[in-house]
Amino acid sequence: MIDISMDYLGMKLKCPVMVGSTPLTDLPANLRKMEDSGAAAIVFPSLFEEQLEMEAHMLDADLSRGTESFAESLYYLPEQSEYRMSHEVYLEHLHRARHGLEIPIIASLNGNTPGGWVRYALDMERAGAAAIELNTYALATDASQTSELIENQLVELVSSVCKAVKIPIAVKLSQNFTSIPSLASRLEQAGAAGVVLFNRFFQPDFDIETLEVKPTLHFSTSAQLLPRLHWAAILYGHVKGDIAISGGVHSAEDVLKSIMAGGSIAQMVSALHVCGIGHISRVLDDLRYWLEKHDYNSLAETRGCLSRRSLPDTSPYDRGNYIRTLTSFSMRTNVSAF
Ligand SMILES: Cc1cc2nc3c(=O)[nH]c(=O)nc-3n(C[C@H](O)[C@H](O)[C@H](O)COP(=O)(O)O)c2cc1C
């Protein structure tokens, strides 16, 4: 059978399809199904900086009052209960998954400032995480938050997590940085073993009847893959670390594009919510079929073949593509209008 194994964060993975961070992994039966369907690894949902700080604060307050009030204080804190799992339950779930499955489990920490909460990375390592995905969601909402400030804070955060653990750290980036190549190389110097392109921002929507701003979550389509392909193709060869694609991966074609752009692995979330966990095995079958039909010996040999550095003309990844797309589009619409 054709070799579709890929290397990611120092691990030899049996295939390029991973389950990205999703609450589908909360159920042990789903974890088993993911492994049985052929997933190479599973990323757990994130523990949030805010949640961890709140837990630590509650514990401190409790210790100063005496342990008998602990259960009561938990009971009276509804904000805390809105998180799906306390960090202790999370670690227990991680530990069980680590021992119940053969594929690696990647834990996820989600925050944006360095601080005491990063010590939870060590707990994740001890509970058996093969790696940690650090999801950094920083949003500038006033003029004093310069790009430089946000990037420095991020690099400091990554550096403190990398120093806390021995397992590899992948940084799940937002697409909204001015210079992704510069940031990716700074993150690498800070100790990151890879980047995940990209975090999806779930922007709030407006209800114009009630004048409310409300959270929304739409599942992706393959259209969301394009910016990931673009940046992976630019980064490939410029950073030594691995590149994971997260966002818009729904089919074998999407996985192939991700690897051809320069990614080592592709993560799926929306596709599994929409088509079910068994979709992974269909994608892997299609992937093998395509590679065999096109006479490849392995998937790894396709890696980066459409990256910026592999093309004789880099303009598809630069301003040239932008100009050409807009120009050719206006010509097409002019023709069809008559
Ligand atoms: C219901 C849901 C929950 C998610 N929770 C997390 C999370 O806890 N941490 C995280 O880094 N990403 C989280 N994500 C983002 C996904 O991991 C992924 O990056 C994003 O959905 C894009 O991939 P997709 O196009 O395959 O859905 C979540 C996505 C969904 C749909």
177/38 same-domain check:
yes
214/106 same-domain check:
yes
Across 43-48, average pLDDT: 94
Look up residue 7 and give its DSSP letter.
E
Lowest-confidence segment of 64-78, 121-135, 190-204 by average pLDDT? 64-78
Å from CA of 203 to ligand 1 middle: 13
322/178 same-domain check:
no
What is the pairing mode between strands 11-13 and 6-8?
Answer: antiparallel
329/206 same-domain check:
no
**Higher pLDDT, residue 5 or 323:** 5
267/338 same-domain check:
no
Å from CA of 44 to ligand 1 middle: 10
CB distance 37 to ligand 1 below 6 Å: no
Å from CA of 268 to ligand 1 middle: 9
**Higher pLDDT, residue 336 or 240:** 240
CA separation for the pair 253, 271 (Å, rounded): 13
171/41 same-domain check:
yes
Tell me which residue has its CA closest to atom 29 in ligand 1. 22
Lowest-confidence segment of 82-86, 168-172, 322-326 by average pLDDT? 82-86
Count: domains in the chain: 2
Tell me which residue has its CA closest to atom 17 in ligand 1. 21
Across 205-232, average pLDDT: 94
Across 260-267, average pLDDT: 98
323/221 same-domain check:
no
Considering the domain boundaries, does residue 325 fall inside one? yes
CB distance 204 to ligand 1 below 6 Å: no
Å from CA of 20 to ligand 1 middle: 7
Q: Give the model's confidence band at 19: pLDDT under 50 very low, under 70 low, under 90 confident, else very high.
A: very high
Query: How confident is the model at residue 332, as a pLDDT?
Result: 60
Question: Is residue 338's pLDDT more than 60?
Answer: no
227/331 same-domain check:
no
CB contact at 8 A, 143 and 114: no
Å from CA of 224 to ligand 1 middle: 13
Considering the domain boundaries, does residue 20 fall inside one? yes
267/325 same-domain check:
no
Query: How confident is the model at residue 211, as a pLDDT?
Result: 94
322/299 same-domain check:
no
Tell me which residue has its CA closest to atom 2 in ligand 1. 22
Considering the domain boundaries, does residue 170 fall inside one? yes
Q: What pLDDT digit, counting tens, does each position of 69-79 carry?
A: 434 444 433 35
Q: What CATH number does the domain containing 127 carry?
A: 3.20.20.70
Q: For ligand 1, what atom is nearest to the CA of residue 225? A: 25
Residue 141, burial from CB neighbour count under 10 angstroms (0-12, 13-18, 19+): exposed
Considering the domain boundaries, does residue 136 fall inside one? yes
Å from CA of 201 to ligand 1 middle: 9
Query: How confident is the model at residue 68, as a pLDDT?
Result: 45
Considering the domain boundaries, does residue 1 fall inside one? no
Lowest-confidence segment of 82-91, 137-146, 219-228 by average pLDDT? 82-91
290/332 same-domain check:
no
Q: In 10 A of CB 288, how many CB atoms?
A: 18
Percent of the chain with pLDDT over 70: 89
Considering the domain boundaries, does residue 128 fall inside one? yes
CB distance 21 to ligand 1 below 6 Å: yes
Question: Is residue 62's pLDDT more than 70?
Answer: no
Average pLDDT, the chain: 89
Percent of the chain with pLDDT over 90: 72
**Higher pLDDT, residue 151 or 76:** 151
Q: What pLDDT digit, counting tens, does each position of 270-321 carry?
A: 999 999 999 999 999 999 999 999 999 999 999 999 999 998 888 888 887 7
CB distance 248 to ligand 1 below 6 Å: yes
CB contact at 8 A, 249 and 15: no
Considering the domain boundaries, does residue 91 fall inside one? yes
E strands present in 102-193: 105-111, 131-136, 169-173
**Higher pLDDT, residue 76 or 253:** 253
CB distance 46 to ligand 1 below 6 Å: yes
Question: Is residue 323's pLDDT more than 90?
Answer: no
336/193 same-domain check:
no
CB distance 111 to ligand 1 below 6 Å: no
pTM across the whole model = 0.90
Domain span holding position 91: 6-306
Query: How confident is the model at residue 69, as a pLDDT?
Result: 41
Å from CA of 310 to ligand 1 middle: 31
Å from CA of 24 to ligand 1 middle: 10
CA separation for the pair 4, 292 (Å, rounded): 11
Q: For ligand 1, what atom is nearest to the CA of residue 196? A: 19
Across 138-167, average pLDDT: 93
Residue 159: partners with Cβ closer than 8 Å, 6 or more residues away: 190, 191
